Chains A and B, each alone.
Chain A
C-alpha cells in the first residue's frame, strides 16, 4: 500500500535536525503573512493612540534634548565642531532603529508562544515582520531628521550633507536591520531555555550603545581604548550615517566591509539557531 518513495507525500514530519534547511521557499510562500503582520503593527499603533505617529518621533526628540543638556552643555563633550543637536539626533535615530530591531525580535518566541503553540507557519516571518514594521517608525523619524537638517541648512549652520553618498543609505539600513535581526533571533532562541537572559537584554543594548560612537565622536576616545570601537561592527554604520547626513566623522570602507561580513556571519548563525529552536521550543518555553 505504501511505496517507499517519499515523492508521493506532501509533508514529512521528522525529529529536529536538518540544521541547514532554512526553508526559504516556504518563507516566500508565506509572504502575504509578512505583509499582513506589518500592516497589523502599523494599524494598531495608529488606532490605539490619538497622536499616532507622533509617538514615533517623541523619543528621539527627548533623548536628543537630554544628551544635549547633559553631554553638550554640562559635560561639554565635543561633537567635532558639528551642530550638537544634529549630531545627537542623527546618531540616536540610527541607533534607535538597530536597538528597536533587537528589542522587538528578541522576545519572538515568548510573546508569540500562544500562536506558535497552535498553528504552524515559518516562525521567521514574525521577527522579519518586526524589523520591517520598525522600518516604518524609522521612516517617520527620518522625516523629522530631514526637517531639522533643512532648518539648520537654511540658517547656514556648519552642516554638510554628503549628497554623493546617499546611494549608500539603503545598504547601511539593511545592515542595521539584519544585524539587529541576527542578534534578536539569537537572543530569542537562547531565552526559550535560559530565561534569565531576557533580563540582561536592555542592559546589554544600553552598554553596546555606549561602546558605539552614538553620542560622542570617536575622536574623543583615548588611543588605548580605540580598539573597542574598531571591533564593534556598529561603529562604521553610525559613523557613515552621520557622515552622509551632516558631514561629520568619515566613511571607513575597510571597517564597513568588516561590518558587512560580521552581519552576514551573525545572521547565518542566528538563522541556524532560530531554525533549531522553532521546531520544539513549545516543549521548553
Chain B
C-alpha cells in the first residue's frame, strides 16, 4: 500500500474579528520582531480553538499539529462539529490557503466536489462554460475536447449546449457543473458536506461518483456531519475537535466517540443561537432542554431495536406567540429524513406569557429502526413554514440503534424492519 497523502504537524492560526485598522501597526511590530530575530509575539497569543470559552485572544489555532497518512484507495471520513477544523483542513488540501506550520505531501492529482460550477458565467453557453470551468479546474483544452461528449451526455443537456447557461433550469445548471467536475479523473477526490444541499438525485449522483472513484482504486476524503453517510461509505474516519485529531481509526469506533464526546450542547446557552448554521430561528420560543430517555427513565442515546424511546422537551416562552407547533425528525444517510413527526404537533399557546415554561413529550413505543446512527432535528415554529422559533439541527447526540444480540454487523442497510413472509411456490 502506498501513501498518497502525508500530513506532518500541520497547524493553522486564524485571526478573529475584524482585520481592520490595527493590523498595520501589528504588522510593523511583527516585522520588527522578525528583524530582531525574536519569535512573532502574535503566535504566542493563539489559544486552543474553543468557541464556547470566553478567552479573549484574537488568534486561535484552527488546526494544531495534525498528523495523518492516507493510503491509496482508502475512503476516509473527516468528522467533527462545526468549527472543528474540517473545512480548514480541506482548504489547505485544495491549496486555497496555506498552513501556518507543517506540511502536507500529496501524490497524484487532487480535485474536490466543492468546486462545482466555479467560474460559470451566465452569459456564456453551456459549451463555453464547460471549457472555462474545466480549465479553471486544471484540465487542458485538448483534454476537455476528448471528454466533451461524455460530459454533455452525463449532464443530459445536448439540446441546450449552445444556449447561455442563464437560460438553464437550476437542475440543468447543477448537472452541467457537476458533469465537468465528475470528469476530472482525480487520483484523490475531496468531497465536502456541501453536496448535502442538492436535491436527492444530485446527492445520489455525488455519492455514486464517489463509489465509482473508490472502486477504481482512487482515494476519497469525505467531510460530513452526516454520520449515516460516513458509516455507509467510509472504512476509516478521523475525528477532529477544536483543531486537533481526537481519534483516527475504524469508522464505528470513531463515530461512537463523536457521539459520546462531541455533541453535548447546553441548549439554554443563548450564545449558541448566533451560529446560524446549526441553530436558527426568531427565538420567540426556545428549547431549554431536550432529554432522550429509555423506558426506565434513564437519559441515554443508545437503544436496542424494539425499545421504547421517550423524548422530553422543556420549552421557554420568550415572547408570546399566536400559534406553536413542534416537530422532530430522525435523519440518516442519503435520503435524510427517515422518521418525521409529519403532522406538526400543536402546543396550546393561548395563555402564554413571557417566561413561561412548557413541557412536552414524544413517545415512540417500539423502535423499529434498523441499527445505525440517526441524527436528530428539532423544530419549533408556526404554520407559516418560513418562521421557525428555534431549530436544533444535529446539535444533540443522535439516536444510536443497536441489535439486541451482539453482532459484528453494526450497520446494516435499510432503515426499517418490515414484517414479511417468504416461501418457495414451485421449483
| Interfacial residues, chain A to chain B (CB-CB below 8 A) | 1-2, 6, 8-16, 30, 32-33, 35-37, 39-40, 43-44, 47-48, 114-121, 193-194, 279-280, 282-284
Contacts and interface: CB of A to CB of B under 8 A. Distances in A.
Contacts of A9: 6, 105-107
Interface string B239-261: 00000000000000000000000
A1 B135 CA distance: 35
Interface string B114-129: 1100110101100010
Contacts of B97: 279-280, 282-283
A15 B105 contact: no
B174 interface: no
A43 B98 contact: no
5 contacts: A40-B124, A43-B124, A119-B112, A279-B98, A280-B98
B135 A117 contact: no
B138 interface: yes
A43 B128 CA distance: 10
| Nearest 4 Cβ contacts at the A-B interface | A120-B95, A33-B135, A9-B105, A13-B104
Contacts, number: 113
Contacts of A193: 19, 23, 27
Contacts of B105: 6, 9, 11-13
B138 to A, nearest CB: 7
Nearest to B100: A15
A280 B100 CA distance: 9
B202 to A, nearest CB: 18
Contacts of B138: 30, 119, 121
B134 to A, nearest CB: 9
B103 interface: yes
B355 interface: no
Which one of A6, A11, A16, A30 has the greatest number of beta carbons of chain B within 10 Å? A11
B94 A120 contact: yes
Contact of B109 (A10, A13, A43, A282): A10
Interface string B71-103: 000000000000000000001111111111111
B136 interface: yes
Given A30-B135, A119-B137, A193-B23, A283 B119 contact: no
Contacts of A194: 23-24
B141 interface: yes
A2 B92 CA distance: 21
B15 interface: yes
A97 B138 CA distance: 30
**Contact-residue size bin, chain B (C-beta under 8 Å from the other chain):** 35 or more
B314 to A, nearest CB: 41
Nearest to B142: A32
A120 B98 CA distance: 11
A74 B103 CA distance: 66
B14 A283 contact: yes
Contacts of A6: 105
Contact of B98 (A11, A13, A48, A116): A13
Interface in B54-73: 69
A39 B164 CA distance: 15
A147 B192 CA distance: 56
A211 to B, nearest CB: 26
Given A43-B124, A283-B15, A13 B92 contact: yes
B12 to A, nearest CB: 8
Interface string B17-59: 0010001100100000000000000000000000000000000
Given A2-B3, A48-B123, A119 B136 contact: yes
A14 B6 CA distance: 12
A121 B136 CA distance: 7
B123 A47 contact: yes
A241 B329 CA distance: 72
Nearest to B6: A2
Given A118-B118, A120-B96, A194-B23, A43 B123 contact: yes
Contacts of B95: 11, 13, 120
Contacts of A14: 98-99, 103
A8 B106 CA distance: 9
B108 interface: yes
A1 B3 CA distance: 7
Given A30-B138, A36-B132, A43-B124, 7 more contacts: A11-B95, A13-B98, A14-B99, A32-B135, A39-B128, A40-B132, A117-B91
A10 B187 CA distance: 11
A10 B106 contact: yes
B353 interface: no
A53 B6 CA distance: 52
B222 interface: no
Nearest to A12: B105
B136 A115 contact: yes
B220 to A, nearest CB: 17
A19 to B, nearest CB: 13
B106 A119 contact: no
Nearest to B27: A193
A112 B403 CA distance: 52
A102 to B, nearest CB: 23
A13 B6 CA distance: 10
